[in-house]
Structures are given as C-alpha cells and as structure tokens.
Structure 1
Amino acid sequence: MTKHIFVTGGVVSSLGKGITAASLGRLLKARGYKVMMQKADPYLNVDPGTMSPFQHGEVFVTEDGKETDLDLGHYERFIDENLTRASNFTTGLIYQSLISRERAGDFLGGTVQVIPHVTNEIKGRFLRIEEQTQADVVITELGGTIGDIEGQSFVEAIRQFRKEKGAGNTLVIHVSLVPYIAAAHEVKTKPTQHSVKELRSMGIQPDFIVCRSDHEVDASIRAKIAHFCDVDEGCVFENSDCPSIYDVPQHLASQGFDVKVCEKLGLDPRTSDMSEWDAFTDRMHSSNKRTDVTEIKVVGKYTQLPDAYLSVIEALHHSGVYYGRHVNITLVDGEELTESNVDEALAGADGILVPGGFGSRGVEGKILAAHKARVEKVPYLGVCLGLQVAVSEFARNVAGMPGANSTEFAPDCEYPVIDLMPDQKDIDDKGGTMRLGAYPCKVVGELSREAYGADLVYERHRHRYEVNNAFRKQLQDAGLVISGLSPDDRLVEMVELPEDVHPWFVASQAHPEFKSRPTKPAPLFREFVRASIARHEGCDRHQVVPED
C-alpha cells in the first residue's frame, strides 16, 4: 500500500514547507523508495498560469504541460523525477470539476456540499497520483497556513483520508516558525503551540513537528514543544537556516528524520545512498569559497522578486557548481535600460541572459542587452522571450529590418519577425491555453548540438508567439543560424550565431531551466556558464572542464 505524508505549515507562510517536503523526498529516495510529490493550493485560481510572478513567483511547467506552483520545481530538483499535472491542484480546480459534474447531472439532483463532495474530490486527488505512479510514498504539501479559512476543506479531507487509510499508512508533518526574540535572547515556542492547537482543533494531531528558525532550536526547546504539543520528543526536529537549501536534506538526516519517518510508516529504513547529493554539496561549498567570481547579468522584468526567475537562477547555480566556479547572478531591470546607461548597467558581465516574460514593459531594454552581448561578444543565452528579443535585435541591426519587433508589442510594425502562433489566433481564454509542456526539437546547430550531444531533444515550452517564417530566409541570409526546429520544420525552436562570429550566442524558445537538476545541469545553461567562465578567465571555453 502506498504511504502518504502530508506537510502543513504554521504561524506564517513562506517558511520552507516545500524545501522540507522535497528534502524528505530526497532522503526517502536515497533509501530506495519510489517517491512522488504534489502540492495542494487553497486559492481559487484554477492554476497559477494567469497570476503575476510578483505574487507567487515563477510559474513552473511540467513535462505534460501543466502550469503549476514554483514548489514543484523544488520537488523535481530534489527527487529528480518528472512530475505531472496530477502533482498540483487548487481549490479553483476542485470547484471547477464539481461544478462541471453538477451541470452534467452527475449528482442525480442532490445538494452539492463541502462535505462530502468537496472533500471527496480532494481525497480523489490524493488517490489519483498514487494510482498513476504506483509510488511507494506520496508527499503532499498543503499551501498556506493552518487557520486560513480557504484551507479548511483540505485539512478536513486530510483528516478523513487518514482515518480511511488506517493507522501506519499516513503521517502529518507540521512545519512551524520558532521565532527568535532579540530582546529576550531566546527562541519562543508559543506560536508553534498555538499553531498545533489550531491543527488539533480541526481533528489532526501531527506526528512530527519541524521547527523553522533563524537560530538553533536546542534539545530543551524541542522537548518543551513536544510536551505542550503532545508529540513524542524524538519527533520534533530542528531546521534552522542552512547556507543553502541543498544542505537541508543532510541537516535533517543528521537528526534521524528519515529513519523516524520510515519507522512511523512501517517501512524498512534500508541503507541510504546520498553519495551523489553529498558530492554536489561538497563541490558547491568549495566553489562558493573561490574569490574569483564569474558575473552573470539576468535582464528581466520581475527583478524585485527573485523567485520570479527561480528555475533560471538555480540552473545557473547548478552549472557553476558543475565547473567548480563561483557564479554571481545579478538581476537587471530591463525597463531601466537605455542606450545611455546600458554599458554601465551591464559592465563587468561575463555572460548575459534574457529570461522569459510577457508584456511590453522592459522589452526595449532587453533588446539593448542582446545587442550589447552580440556586438561585444559577451556570451548570451536567451530563454523564450530571450530568443524573441535576440531575433528582433538581429533583424534590426544586421538583417536590414529597422523597427523589427513582435506583434505582441507592436501589432502594426513593418517587420513582425515574431508573430502569434497560427493555432493561437482564435483562442480567447488566457488560462492554460498556451503552447505548454515538452515538445521535440531537431538540433542542427553546432553549439546547440555540442551542448545536448543529441540530434533530437525534448524541452518544455510556455509561449504563444514564435519566429515568423515569412522572415526566416532573410534572417538566415544575414547570418542567423536556425539551430533547432520542430520535427516538421515548421517552428523555429533555437537560434545561434556561428562561432567565427561570436564565441557563444544561443537562444531557445523553450524553457530548459525547468529540467535542470543539481547533479545534471540543463545543457544550454551548462554551456552558457562554461562560455561565461572562459570569458572571465580569458581562455578558450573548451579549457573549462567539470570539477572532479
């Protein structure tokens, strides 16, 4: 029988429930268990696809084309498994499903209620991922904080599910803030006590408590929490701030967290193999100690919230660690870039990256960044919109198409080198209607093929616009290399510049950052960072080799 672990949060949001859940997933996988993860979000949006990155950070896209919460990116990076659309659901999705069934007459005239209909639908989502994946363990994170009114139906569903599954087949981990009060020179347990009291009032007694704090939560404090929250003393764990999120699995393992979880679930603890993960964290800490720093400038739109580019930032870090170098990432607001300040804003850049985005704000600044990278031979990686601005810049300044642009930003421009995809023209709904998920790409360019080491690759997409085929020949004649194509040759998936023109200039319509892993960096990011390191160190990029 599949075992289910539920992770809830207390006191405040953004505590790191997702990292705690992902770390446990990694630890259980290291013990030989098949682990799958999911996130239940209580908000009413059907998915985060139409939500501003300023509110929830990036929208992560699964292999099968589901727009999801960014925590799924953490899950995939930690457990190294491709998740599916079953791995994220919201209150909005639950209600949408129920209302559609009610309209179809599925309830035979009965009154549709929160209990049992909403809770049954939620429990069905818990079972669906179990049945689809045949996982040994499913870890489900509940978004928000215990006590939030929108999360009550989820908590009730968890309560019912635990009773139906029977003893030993489920457990609840409550992640709670243990704040440090500077004036008193001590951490305080009362917020956690109240949070657990709230959870217990809803019918759930947590099996484990994980204490999040920026200070150490010592054994005496954990014993106090165990006593007042009616939890075994050996089931309260400390998770104070670590140098990196990738240190959390071993921090928890050092306290026997995963062993205790196996014991509670009746699982054989087996022998743990964290060697690959440990090798990564060792290289990470070693590279971070280096004084010579490779500087990457990321020119974006949502720069006030780094989580908006979370997967991009992580993929760059993975690549830096791969080569044993310290990579520093600076976010630059494209809206503030002008011809008069672009040189100053991007000074010292060893590599320039333009990530995905929507809307016209900051686009001209991104085009200026692509121009600087091309002209000054700074390694460049364009991701999604980053490809589109690179093509627009090349068309304007090399291919003789002044004012070239995307019809997303300039519908009536003379040279619409980027245009709406044909199958998007009659779509009015905004949610879940883009080109989403993994699509095949024939790799034909030299730099792109060198990065992937394959002639056919699959990367994940999230876009409505593409290179306009009416201008493809004109762009190629001017020297732009179409380095990746859809199998039917209809869609431009990647472009690059020849090595005799530029040391490393590649852009992809896809989002390769979504598939980057700590121990397996995304190929295009890996080679981009390699070229950036080479520029910083003044050598040929082929001399930059992986750290042993």
Structure 2
Amino acid sequence: MKTKFIFVTGGVLSSLGKGLAAASIGALLQARGLKVTIQKLDPYINVDPGTMNPFQHGEVYVTDDGAETDLDLGHYERYLDISMSQRNNYTSGSIYNSVITKERRGDYLGGTVQVIPHITDEIKSAVLGVAQHDEDVAIIEIGGTVGDIESLPFLEAIRQLRSNLGKDNVLYIHLTLVPLMRAAGELKTKPTQHSVKELRSIGIQPDIILCRSEVDLGKDIKAKIALFCNVDEDAVFTAIDVQSIYEVPLALYEEGVDQKIAILLRLPAKNPHLPRWKELVTRLRTPKDEVRIAIVGKYVDLRESYKSLHEALIHGGVAHDVSVRLEYINSEEVVGDTVAESMAGVHGVLVPGGFGHRGVEGKIAAIRFAREQGVPFFGICLGMQCAVIEFARNVLSLPSANSEEFDPTSPDPVIYLMAEWYDHRRQCHQKRDAGCAKGGTMRLGAYPCRIKPETRAFVAYGEDVVQERHRHRYEFNDRYAERFEAAGMVLSGLSPDNALVEIVELTDHPWFLGCQFHPEFKSRPLDPHPLFRDFIGAALSRKISGVP
C-alpha cells in the first residue's frame, strides 16, 4: 500500500494539544495493524531547539541518533513505542539552512532562490523522506497556529502535496478550540469558524475538525460547525478534556475518529486492538496508593521543561499501581536552613539535568538531605554530577570539590571536561562523519553502558549492557574513582572502554542512584523505564515503612 499522509494543523491558540492528538491518532492507527511514522514541522527560525531557553520552549528531546528535537517527539515515542530520528523533526531554520547551503554550492545554477518553489520543495522533500520503511501512514504535525507568518511556507507545501499525491493519499485534520462561556452557559463556535476560514484562504480545506472543549459537543453544535466550515457532520469530533493524557486515544476512539480517517483514506477496515491502553487507563484511574516525589530544579516555573521526566515518573507509578504526586521545588530557593522544610513529607527526591551554575548549591543541599536522611534519591545528568560533588565535599572531605563547569579553578574538579574525548568529537563533527552524533562538544544520543553485576542498576535492568541517551559536556573525573569507591560510592555503570562513568550508587542507602544519561527519554507508559520503576518502588517502600 502506498504511504498515506495525514497533516495535523491547529488554530485559535497554541498549546491545544496538536502533538497529543497526532500521537493518539497514530496509536489508534497502529492498533488497527498499520505501520505508522510521525513528524513535527516547527515554524521557528532556530535550526533546532538545542540552544533555546527551556523557559520559552520546554524540554529538548534527544533521539538515539543525537538529534535535539521538539518535545512533541517524546509524545510520539511514548504513544507509538518507536524510535524517532533527525528526519522526524524539521524547523524553518533547518529548511532555510539547507536551501541556502545549496545556493552557496551552486546547486540552483545561478537562478533566483524563492520561497516558492525552493523552500516549499525542500519542505516537501522532508515530508516525503520521513516514510523510509514502507510505512502505511505518515502523520505530519505543523507547529504553531494557522495565521502565523512563520507557518505559511509549511502550509503552502502541504497544500501542494495533495495535488502531487492525490486526494485519496492526503488528509487534513484541523484542531481548534470551542470555548465554553460559563456566564452564558454556551459553547462558542466562532473561533473555530474563523480558524477554518483562515486555513481555507490559503487553499486548504480540512477533512476533519477536532474541537478541543471542556464538555462534549452536542449534535447541534457539530452540525453548526460542519455547515459553516464545509465539512461532513460526521467529520466534526469532540477532543474533550480528560484527566490523564493517556486517555486521549480512547476518547478519540469513542468519538470514531480513526474510523472516519480509515474511510477517507481508504485504509483497511480493521477494528483497533486496545486492551493494553484500556488497562493503562484503568490503572491510572484506580491507584492503590500515592507517593510524593520532590523534583528539585531551576526550570520549575514551566513544567514543560521536565515533560519527559514528569511522564516517566507517572510510568514508574503505573508499574506499582500508585499515583505520583510531584512537588516541584525551585533549587535557587533551597538553602541550608530550609532544606528539611522543603523536603517535609516527600518519599523520594529527584534532581534533573540542566546547564549552568544557577541553582546548583540548592540541588547539592537537597542531595545531602536525601543521603543523610535515607530518602530515596535519583539524580539525572547534572543531578548525578551534583551527587558526586556533594559526596566529595561531605564524605571525602574535599570542601572545594566542584565541576569545571561551575569553577574552572577548583583544586578538586571531580566533574571535568574530558579534553581528549571531546577533541575527538569536535574533529569528528567537523569532518561530518556519519558515525558521530551531531553536537561537536556535546555527548548526544545513544551510547552503550556496561553495568556491574550485583548492583542496584543491574537489578533494575536485568542485563549487563544497555543503550541510553545523553545530552551533556562534562564527565566524572576518573582520577578520583578509587577514592569514591573506597568510601562507598559504587561506579556501577561504565562505558565499554571503562573511560566514562555512566551510573553511580551508594551501598549503605535505601536507594541512591545517579546516571549521566537521560533515562526518561526511553520510558513508555506501557513499558516503564526500569530505573524509574525501581525509584518509585523505593519511594513506596519508604511510605509503607512509615519513616517520617
């Protein structure tokens, strides 16, 4: 079967949930036995989100091949349980960069380079290139909202693709808002009408309209939208607010969205097989207990900065039939006298990744509290590095221990920039060696980790070699390895050549583990990551034991 393309656009306002809708549609089609891939096209001019402030953009999601991508790719991987790559996320910046590079190289033979056809052709090439493994359906999400000037080249490109590929092979789905005006007790369809009008003005007539709403849309409201937006009445669906994002696939299934898509694209008539999704939702709705986890970081004012982390903790709770209550604590506000107060009543402490020195001392103070009070602790990337610094200062009696990132003159740089390795990486990047993940001075993407037997890490994974994703520059300084291990910190995960420390843990603690990689990127709702599963298990044990 020739690959079918579904284009998902959004209108009225941002953050309506296009990514979740696209991922949920993909999950439903996948449950019908179809092979699905998915792609995000972002309108911003940045080549990728790697240098963007998490307060503006949310987390940077990293794929196995080292691509720094939009956080929606995390939704795609979690819902479809397939690995994304660089070709699953393009920005305006990357598209323009490619076209300008070709122009400088002389590929256009001196011709005038224009948005149409050169930019739109590059976009179409990116879209068609996402289906490289005989996928039945490719879902393409267009970032931003209809009417944004940055989105126009993408919308023009997908408009052209319907003519190029044929009507039976292209479907347009538009997500809009139908607000409930509580004072009047009315649902308002005018924002949806205006959004569709804007879309139609550039030549795209949506086939399906998903209406985000607090309440179910009645038949009359759907009929009104269908009339004014020129779509079939049975092509207007409620995308109702749900308690958990993992209820979205089932909510769209109950509306009949996947059936309408199958009819319009002439897909095989199969009912989706959804028992695992139904079991997941049941377990989320009926937890047997609750644990409280403190997330001590500096991006807590925008929860999207820790999106994958948040979801991985939820997945860990599902494994134990418990709900996970997250207590976000600003590490800049954690100081010596307030640590115990900040951590009161929590059953586990997690310190996530990040860059820069801001808030680091608060993270170190929180880690010391968790270590000394026996509170289960999980440190990720910078969180692991802070755990190493804390241990060096307060157990190894190295009061000036630090990372070279925060203090280049520290007499005890227990975390340092491994110059020889990064020189190799930089040369590799400059040569554009396909065998190296992009990033120059950063370790990006999946790398192997060899796990020592009889450690907590080995108990969690149940295997001695794993692949995990990285996004960092600094490493554990192996000159201090013997001193750390002699004092009780086990270096339980190493690179295959023993040059890089990947996991550290404490033997005389209920559960204390730090990892240099980002395990949250590989956690799935139907297959929780083993480290998150065991961390939540340790937190639950602490609660059950009644330790204050």
TM range (shorter): over 0.9
Amino acid at match of 1:19: L
**Distance apart, 1:421 and its partner CA:** 3.0
Aligned pair 1:359/2:356, yes or no?
A: yes
Aligned pair 1:375/2:372, yes or no?
A: yes
Q: Could you say what secondary structure the match of 1:123 adopts?
A: helix
Q: CA RMSD in A?
A: 1.6
Amino acid at match of 2:471: R
Q: Which residue does 1:544 correspond to in 2?
A: none
Q: Which residue does 2:459 correspond to in 1?
A: 450
**Distance apart, 1:213 and its partner CA:** 1.5
Contact kept in structure 2, 1:295 and 1:327, CA below 8 Å: yes
Amino acid at match of 2:339: V
**Distance apart, 1:72 and its partner CA:** 0.6
Match of 1:424 among 398, 417, 422: 422
Amino acid at match of 2:10: G
Count of matched residue positions in the alignment of Structure 1 and Structure 2:
534
Question: TM-score with structure 1 length normalisation?
Answer: 0.95
Please list, as runs of the form range in 1=range in 2, the aligned pairs for 1:317-396 lying within 5 A after superposition.
317-396=314-393
**Alpha-carbon displacement from aligned partner over 1:235-256 (angstroms, at most 9, x marks no partner):** 0000121111111111110111
Please list, as runs of the form range in 1=range in 2, the aligned pairs for 1:111-510 lying within 5 A after superposition.
111-130=112-131, 132-287=132-287, 290=288, 292-422=289-419, 423-424=421-422, 432-433=439-440, 434-444=442-452, 446-498=455-507, 501-510=508-517
Task: Give identity over the alignment, percent.
Answer: 55
Contact kept in structure 2, 1:485 and 1:493, CA below 8 Å: yes
Counterparts of 1:158 and 1:421, CA distance in 2: 45
**Alpha-carbon displacement from aligned partner over 1:338-386 (angstroms, at most 9, x marks no partner):** 0100000011111000000011111000001111111111111110001
Counterparts of 2:356 and 2:422, CA distance in 1: 17
**Alpha-carbon displacement from aligned partner over 1:74-109 (angstroms, at most 9, x marks no partner):** 111111111111100000000111111111111111
**Greater Cα shift, 416-425 or 240-249:** 416-425
Counterparts of 2:60 and 2:315, CA distance in 1: 20
Contact kept in structure 1, 2:9 and 2:141, CA below 8 Å: yes
Q: Which residue does 1:55 correspond to in 2?
A: 56
Please list, as runs of the form range in 1=range in 2, the aligned pairs for 1:100-111 lying within 5 A after superposition.
100-111=101-112
Counterparts of 1:31 and 1:205, CA distance in 2: 26
Counterparts of 2:134 and 2:381, CA distance in 1: 34
Amino acid at match of 1:46: V
Contact kept in structure 2, 1:442 and 1:456, CA below 8 Å: yes
Q: Which residue does 1:536 correspond to in 2?
A: 543
Aligned pair 1:25/2:26, yes or no?
A: yes
Aligned pair 1:95/2:96, yes or no?
A: yes
Counterparts of 1:182 and 1:424, CA distance in 2: 58
**Greater Cα shift, 183-192 or 88-97:** 183-192
Q: Could you say what secondary structure the match of 1:510 adopts?
A: coil
Counterparts of 2:370 and 2:52, CA distance in 1: 31
Contact kept in structure 1, 2:291 and 2:322, CA below 8 Å: yes
**Distance apart, 1:427 and its partner CA:** 5.7
Unpaired segments ≥5 residues, structure 1: 541-548
Q: Which residue does 1:43 correspond to in 2?
A: 44
Contact kept in structure 1, 2:246 and 2:281, CA below 8 Å: yes
**Distance apart, 1:310 and its partner CA:** 0.7
**Alpha-carbon displacement from aligned partner over 1:437-488 (angstroms, at most 9, x marks no partner):** 1100001151000000000000100000110122122212222100000000
Contact kept in structure 2, 1:36 and 1:133, CA below 8 Å: no
Contact kept in structure 2, 1:296 and 1:330, CA below 8 Å: yes
**Alpha-carbon displacement from aligned partner over 1:187-233 (angstroms, at most 9, x marks no partner):** 11111111101100101100000001223222211110000000000
Contact kept in structure 2, 1:7 and 1:174, CA below 8 Å: yes
Counterparts of 2:370 and 2:290, CA distance in 1: 19
Amino acid at match of 1:64: D
Unpaired segments ≥5 residues, structure 2: 430-437
Counterparts of 2:384 and 2:133, CA distance in 1: 35
Q: Which residue does 1:546 correspond to in 2?
A: none
Q: Which residue does 2:433 correspond to in 1?
A: none
Counterparts of 1:11 and 1:326, CA distance in 2: 33
Amino acid at match of 2:201: S
**Distance apart, 1:21 and its partner CA:** 0.6
Contact kept in structure 1, 2:506 and 2:512, CA below 8 Å: yes
Counterparts of 1:186 and 1:74, CA distance in 2: 32
Q: Could you say what secondary structure the match of 2:448 adopts?
A: strand
Amino acid at match of 2:33: G
Counterparts of 1:432 and 1:214, CA distance in 2: 42
Counterparts of 1:309 and 1:323, CA distance in 2: 22
Counterparts of 2:55 and 2:172, CA distance in 1: 30
Q: Which residue does 1:543 correspond to in 2?
A: none
**Distance apart, 1:539 and its partner CA:** 8.2
Contact kept in structure 2, 1:298 and 1:355, CA below 8 Å: yes
Q: Which residue does 2:435 correspond to in 1?
A: none
Counterparts of 1:474 and 1:365, CA distance in 2: 25
Contact kept in structure 1, 2:250 and 2:277, CA below 8 Å: no
Contact kept in structure 2, 1:49 and 1:432, CA below 8 Å: no
Q: Could you say what secondary structure the match of 1:272 adopts?
A: coil
Question: TM-score with structure 2 length normalisation?
Answer: 0.95
Amino acid at match of 1:311: S
Q: Could you say what secondary structure the match of 1:168 adopts?
A: helix
Q: Could you say what secondary structure the match of 2:411 adopts?
A: coil
Amino acid at match of 1:6: F
Contact kept in structure 2, 1:212 and 1:239, CA below 8 Å: yes
Amino acid at match of 1:531: A
Counterparts of 2:494 and 2:458, CA distance in 1: 12
Amino acid at match of 2:325: N
Counterparts of 1:253 and 1:456, CA distance in 2: 39
Contact kept in structure 2, 1:262 and 1:269, CA below 8 Å: yes
Contact kept in structure 1, 2:349 and 2:378, CA below 8 Å: yes
Counterparts of 2:250 and 2:470, CA distance in 1: 33
**Distance apart, 1:162 and its partner CA:** 1.1
User: Hey, which bits of structure 1, 4+ residues long, moved more than 6 A?
Assistant: none
Counterparts of 2:231 and 2:418, CA distance in 1: 56
